[in-house]
Amino acid sequence: MLLRNETLSPAARKHFKLLRNPFVDDIQSRADVFASQHGRYVRAALLDAAINHGFVAIVGESGSGKSTLREDLEERIREERRPIIAIKPYVLAMEPNDTRGKPMKAGQIAESIARTLAPNVQLKSSPDARYRQVHELLKSSRAAGYSHLLVIEEAHRMPLPTLKHLKNFMELKDGLRRLLGVCLIGQPELRLLLSEQNPEVREIVQRCEQITMEPLDSDLEGYLVHKFERAGLALADVLEADALDAIRARLISMPRGGRVSDAVSVCYPLVVNNLVCRALNAAAAVGFPKVDAQVIGGC
């Protein structure tokens, strides 16, 4: 279930005494990031890939918090002054083929590595010289004590040939030491690209750890407590106790006659934000003191 974004109305902010919208521009520091048990695991996997030059793919629905955890990693690197360099090729207008946009190619990744490590470097014109140049830059940076993580957002839009070339970047070494880790971040289509049934990417699939972003579900209450506390309000001042179960009922579907393992949940942060925002507006419009299950059911 997808919910259209709805802005928290001035009437709702006044009704619930909210100084600011708890769901808009709400992450300004690492303390603002909700840390679920699964989120902590993803955080650890990203940091491990950065330090030890691993290969990880973070797969999740839109609004599941993938990019937020990537930004959290970058902020952690800055705050803790870790010797890690994040290399992020621009993915604006990236598409799998030329008919809809501009495919990302291995040369673009090489250029991004070079520009990040040596912004003023003059790139060699021939492919062999350019990749040799990139290799030397990585070795020099590694010798200076840095590790490197290549981060590619919207990876589900990568062309297959470029995806296959990532193995070659991973194999750039200085002796036995790897010089580059890779993190792919994408929507569920990325899981299809990285399927073990796809013979074209078997070399990638065997090397890449795939992590699927999990919905909030049992962490829903903790998430909303965190959000409203950051906005200066207690959750109990806004939501009745039965509202949480109503939110889960709206966002978790069970096939008729299915088992618990067959349940499909879209209880992701962005969907929860949109649903709760709608409910706050609706409760304020009819004068309810708090959001309850009835209000959630009508949204």
Within the chain, where are the H helices? 10-15, 37-52, 66-79, 106-117, 127-143, 160-170, 189-193, 202-205, 220-230, 241-251, 269-286, 293-297
Q: Are both 202 and 219 inside the same structural domain?
A: no
- Specify whether 20 is located in the same domain as 125: no
Q: Does residue 1 belong to any structural domain of this protein?
A: no
Residue that is last in its domain, among 197, 212, 227: 212
Q: What are the pLDDT digits (tens) for 235-288?
A: 999 999 999 999 999 998 877 766 767 788 999 999 999 999 999 999 999 999
Give a yes or no: residue 3 inside a domain. no
Q: Are residues 159 and 68 in the same domain?
A: yes
Does residue 264 sit in the same domain as residue 119?
no
Please give the residue range of the domain that contains residue 273: 10-28+215-297
Query: Which domain CATH number covers 239?
Result: 1.10.8
For position 112, what pLDDT does the model report?
96
Q: What is the mean pLDDT of residues 164-182?
A: 95
Do 115 and 247 sit in the same domain of this protein?
A: no
What's 46's domain CATH number? Answer: 3.40.50.300
Does the structure show a pLDDT above 90 at 117? yes
pTM for this entry: 0.91
Residue 24 sits in the same domain as residue 49: no
Shared domain for 192 and 53, answered yes or no, is yes
User: What integer pLDDT is reported at residue 298 of this predicted model?
Assistant: 86
Q: Do 116 and 187 sit in the same domain of this protein?
A: yes
Q: Is residue 161 in some structural domain?
A: yes
Identify the residue with better confidence: 4 or 158.
Answer: 158
1 pLDDT more than 70: no
How many structural domains are present in the chain? 2
Mean per-residue pLDDT of the chain: 92
212, 235, 252 - which closes a domain: 212
- 73 and 46 share a domain? yes
- Are 45 and 188 part of one and the same domain? yes
Q: How distant, in Å, are the alpha carbons of 58, 96, 131, 187 from that of 102?
A: 23, 8, 21, 19
Count Cα atoms within 13 angstroms, Cβ side, for 82.
Answer: 19
Query: Residue 94's pLDDT band (boundaries 50, 70, 90)?
Result: confident
DSSP assignment of 200-216:
GGHHHHTTPEEEEPPP-
Domain co-membership, 285 together with 231? yes
- Asked whether residue 141 is assigned to any structural domain, the reply reads yes
Can you tell me the distance from the alpha carbon of 294 to that of 299, in angstroms, rounded to the nearest whole number?
9
The answer to whether residue 171 scores a pLDDT higher than 70 is yes
Q: Which of 180, 212, 244 is the last residue of a domain?
A: 212
Task: Kindly tell me the burial class for residue 269, based on how many C-beta atoms sit within 10 Å of its own C-beta (0-12, 13-18, 19 or more).
Answer: buried
The reply to whether 79 falls in a domain is: yes
Instruction: Give the 3-state secondary structure of residue 150.
Output: strand
Whether 117 is covered by a domain: the verdict is: yes
What per-residue confidence (pLDDT) applies to 26? 83
186 CA to centre of own chain: 8
Q: Report the percent of the chain where pLDDT is more than 90.
A: 78
Same domain (yes/no): 174, 81: yes
DSSP 282: H
User: For residue 77, which amino acid is it?
Assistant: I
Asked whether the predicted pLDDT for residue 181 surpasses 90, the reply is: yes
